[in-house]
Chain A
């Protein structure tokens, strides 16, 4: 410190400053900030310039007075209060354009089971929420700090379970259901908001809006006075469910204690650490096993496979048709050895693009998860049953959203599965389980057994971002495979069926490994590109009319679509040339 600095410091220390903050101003400013924040969250970013002007106190008061006078005059001249017909969707969006704390009741109806799940959501912020179920169960999600997790409270048993997700960082878990509505504004080209007029809903006068989406239909009822949603319905046939959101409460005064990650007094707390989903996490507790995997098709077909799994990333699958597949995803590059035991042929496929990953079904993890948190998996105890000579406990695990639909028979002594069934159209049955078996390493060697002819193929790297060129190349390859004819449709199952029929008709008994590789390499990005175009029918407006047309027919259009954000269309002809066309020039 220099002399000047020292003298200056001594000098100011001898002065009494009027610098003690006063709580009066601090509190008033806090109130002002809260008001601004509330307004901001309602009005959204379009109000930035307005707020800048309104920072001046004089202008703020003057403007408020003018607004009040204007409103009074408008009401006077209109001869009464608004009847709601003038409420616009944009006005409703103004209220929810930005995140604000809120609560609502959600009723979910699952179409395939007709099951109804009701719960009350309380959204404190983007990181924390509380869900209350009619049976008293409470789920509290706290992803605001690590370890992130979910606290389950069962008031009947006074038991609490704190479930953490190691490796998961602080993250937004409440992307906000209302965010979907905001999306409507962002893509007016896709979503056409229909004004359904004033309706009475849940005892309130509301304005109803109807928004047909890509795969679903939204209906929104907004209070004509507050412009806030009163009810939202989402019909989602693809997901097989209908969501109804009611009893909205915006900006409620939440008791923060209700979002605590520690249970209330009197609860017995246990902890459950969710196992990591990475290959390394699973391989740590993977138990070498064998079992029989039977697939019963809806057409009466039956396929049986013996599964040998020494680790999560390696397996040998022996099918009853004489084919054996040996997979090694434990190292890079991943490899697959396909053995045809009848023809004594072996094909070694190398996938330079595939890294180490888990390839075996996570049986025990699902069963363990259902045991630890039955509420999450909707697990149902189906009692004790005798199966294959074992006394078993039968548990049905549909999963919260019907994603598993497993029935597990567990040996009551060992706790290990004896039989697992999954019915989802076709039926999968897993039996003959053996755990902790010592498997002969030779069974997993990636080399052709003696007496086999070996073909080696290396697959090209996967295409991360397919382009129109991949679409054209796929069409060309398929047409060549089908003797010059373009496929009947672009849906892959249809294409597969057409290829199978063609092979039967032409008596093509097999495709060479190299041909297969070329086909797969071309079809994969082709499918991806088609999938992208089909994901948003209104946006891309894809049309395929190639059925019955042959490769080389230069005057015939086979396909057209509109690229993202473009106004003109891309039109593909039978000779696979591409031209741009205005909407009015498209084929009728």
Chain B
């Protein structure tokens, strides 16, 4: 199937999903994994990621009637909803504390047979969650979801140039925090 065919089919899937429940479910199955992974990479916690993923798709059901566009636009729209949902989740300080605390407990309690991977995960999590939500979103969308700067800009309602400069700043901060943490500062 060439790109034109795929785009045409995708467009039809979106169109069908407006009135056909099965088409909507097809769309959901197609994007569930990506959205769950994005939430997991942002939240570092499976239960929270699943809750937010649920929230994202329930919001999609609610707002789908007002969505206008093809499937590439739908993907961007989905990430935008997910970004907002994750940010809302993180914004609540209590939840964020719980998140960090819960993750730390699990980390301390594990037998650490994964060695450096667990340590690195803890390091990354602490460093990432200390960033501004916007920076977290940029880094996750770029390095985990492999979105282009132009696509990230669409998700965040920004320009690709801004995204690139903010990504550079975010990476610099991450590097700084990771180095400090490794040195025990």
Using a CB–CB cutoff of 8 Å, the interface residues on chain A facing chain B are 2, 4-5, 7-9, 11-12, 14-19, 21-22, 25-26, 29-30, 32-34, 36-38, 40, 45, 48, 51-52, 55, 99, 101, 124-127, 144-145, 170, 172, 256
User: Which residue of the partner chain, among B15, B50, B118, contacts A25 with CB atoms under 8 Å?
Assistant: B50
Could you say which of B58, B117, B172 has the most chain A C-beta atoms within 10 Å of its C-beta?
Answer: B58
- Known contacts: A17-B41, A33-B25, A37-B24. The answer to whether A8 contacts B16 by CB under 8 A is no
* Contact segment of B28-36, B70-78, B88-96, B150-158: B28-36
Bound form: Cα–Cα A38–B62 in Å:
12
B25 adjacent to A55 (CB under 8 Å): no
B175 adjacent to A4 (CB under 8 Å): yes
User: With a CB–CB cut-off of 8 A, which chain A residues contact B61?
Assistant: 33, 36-37, 40
B144 interfacial contact with A, CB 8 Å: yes
* Consensus secondary structure, chain B interface: helix
B54 interfacial contact with A, CB 8 Å: yes
Q: List 9 A-B contacts (CB under 8 A).
A: A2-B168, A12-B143, A14-B116, A29-B57, A32-B54, A33-B58, A145-B12, A170-B15, A256-B22
Give 5 new A-B contacts, CB below 8 A, not counting A16-B121, A29-B28, A126-B20.
A17-B40, A18-B44, A32-B58, A36-B61, A124-B20
Bound form: Cα–Cα A26–B26 in Å:
12
- Known contacts: A8-B171, A11-B124, A17-B121. The answer to whether A37 contacts B143 by CB under 8 A is no
Nearest neighbor of B56 in chain A, beta-carbon distance: A29
Bound form: Cα–Cα A19–B121 in Å:
12
User: With a CB–CB cut-off of 8 A, which chain B residues contact A14?
Assistant: 116-117, 120
User: Which residue of the partner chain, among B55, B114, B143, B168, contacts A9 with CB atoms under 8 Å?
Assistant: B143
Bound form: Cα–Cα A26–B143 in Å:
24
B180 interfacial contact with A, CB 8 Å: no
Bound form: Cα–Cα A37–B17 in Å:
11
6 closest cross-chain pairs (CB), A and B: A125-B20, A4-B171, A19-B40, A126-B19, A21-B36, A16-B117
B82 interfacial contact with A, CB 8 Å: no
Nearest neighbor of A8 in chain B, beta-carbon distance: B171
User: With a CB–CB cut-off of 8 A, which chain A residues contact B15?
Assistant: 170
User: With a CB–CB cut-off of 8 A, which chain A residues contact B136?
Assistant: none
- Known contacts: A14-B120, A33-B61. The answer to whether A144 contacts B12 by CB under 8 A is yes
Bound form: Cα–Cα A183–B19 in Å:
19
User: With a CB–CB cut-off of 8 A, which chain B residues contact A7?
Assistant: 175
Nearest neighbor of A19 in chain B, beta-carbon distance: B40
B12 adjacent to A170 (CB under 8 Å): yes
B53 interfacial contact with A, CB 8 Å: yes
User: Which residue of the partner chain, among A12, A30, A124, contacts B124 with CB atoms under 8 Å?
Assistant: A12
Q: How far is the CB of A323 from the nearest CB of chain B, in Å?
A: 53
B86 interfacial contact with A, CB 8 Å: no
Bound form: Cα–Cα A172–B46 in Å:
41
B117 adjacent to A21 (CB under 8 Å): no
- Known contacts: A8-B143, A127-B16. The answer to whether A29 contacts B121 by CB under 8 A is no
Q: How far is the CB of A420 from the nearest CB of chain B, in Å?
A: 42
B80 interfacial contact with A, CB 8 Å: no
Nearest neighbor of B118 in chain A, beta-carbon distance: A16
Nearest neighbor of A51 in chain B, beta-carbon distance: B62
Q: How far is the CB of A255 from the nearest CB of chain B, in Å?
A: 12
Q: How far is the CB of A445 from the nearest CB of chain B, in Å?
A: 49
Q: How far is the CB of A510 from the nearest CB of chain B, in Å?
A: 58
B137 interfacial contact with A, CB 8 Å: no
B41 adjacent to A30 (CB under 8 Å): no
B21 interfacial contact with A, CB 8 Å: yes
- Known contacts: A8-B171, A15-B121, A29-B57. The answer to whether A21 contacts B20 by CB under 8 A is no
User: With a CB–CB cut-off of 8 A, which chain B residues contact A5?
Assistant: 143, 167, 171
B40 adjacent to A33 (CB under 8 Å): no
B37 adjacent to A21 (CB under 8 Å): yes
- Known contacts: A11-B124, A29-B32, A30-B28. The answer to whether A36 contacts B58 by CB under 8 A is yes
User: With a CB–CB cut-off of 8 A, which chain A residues contact B57?
Assistant: 29, 33
User: With a CB–CB cut-off of 8 A, which chain A residues contact B62?
Assistant: 48, 51-52
B32 adjacent to A33 (CB under 8 Å): no
B174 interfacial contact with A, CB 8 Å: yes
Bound form: Cα–Cα A127–B12 in Å:
11
User: With a CB–CB cut-off of 8 A, which chain B residues contact A22?
Assistant: 50
Nearest neighbor of A145 in chain B, beta-carbon distance: B12
User: With a CB–CB cut-off of 8 A, which chain B residues contact A126?
Assistant: 19-20
User: With a CB–CB cut-off of 8 A, which chain A residues contact B178?
Assistant: 11
User: With a CB–CB cut-off of 8 A, which chain B residues contact A15?
Assistant: 117, 120-121, 124
Nearest neighbor of A14 in chain B, beta-carbon distance: B120
User: With a CB–CB cut-off of 8 A, which chain A residues contact B16?
Assistant: 125, 127, 144
User: With a CB–CB cut-off of 8 A, which chain B residues contact A8?
Assistant: 139, 143, 171, 174-175
User: With a CB–CB cut-off of 8 A, which chain B residues contact A40?
Assistant: 61
A18 adjacent to B40 (CB under 8 Å): yes
Bound form: Cα–Cα A241–B142 in Å:
63
A16 adjacent to B114 (CB under 8 Å): yes
Bound form: Cα–Cα A33–B59 in Å:
10
Q: How far is the CB of A173 from the nearest CB of chain B, in Å?
A: 12
Nearest neighbor of A26 in chain B, beta-carbon distance: B32
**Interface digits, B7-20 against A, CB 8 Å rule (1 contact, 0 not)?**
00100100110011
User: With a CB–CB cut-off of 8 A, which chain B residues contact A38?
Assistant: 21
User: With a CB–CB cut-off of 8 A, which chain B residues contact A18?
Assistant: 40, 44, 46
Nearest neighbor of B167 in chain A, beta-carbon distance: A5
User: With a CB–CB cut-off of 8 A, which chain B residues contact A32?
Assistant: 54, 58
A30 adjacent to B117 (CB under 8 Å): no
User: With a CB–CB cut-off of 8 A, which chain A residues contact B171?
Assistant: 2, 4-5, 8
Q: How far is the CB of B116 from the nearest CB of chain A, in Å?
A: 7
Bound form: Cα–Cα A25–B39 in Å:
14
Q: How far is the CB of A122 from the nearest CB of chain B, in Å?
A: 14
Q: How far is the CB of A128 from the nearest CB of chain B, in Å?
A: 8
Bound form: Cα–Cα A172–B168 in Å:
48
Nearest neighbor of A37 in chain B, beta-carbon distance: B21
Nearest neighbor of B16 in chain A, beta-carbon distance: A144
B174 adjacent to A19 (CB under 8 Å): no
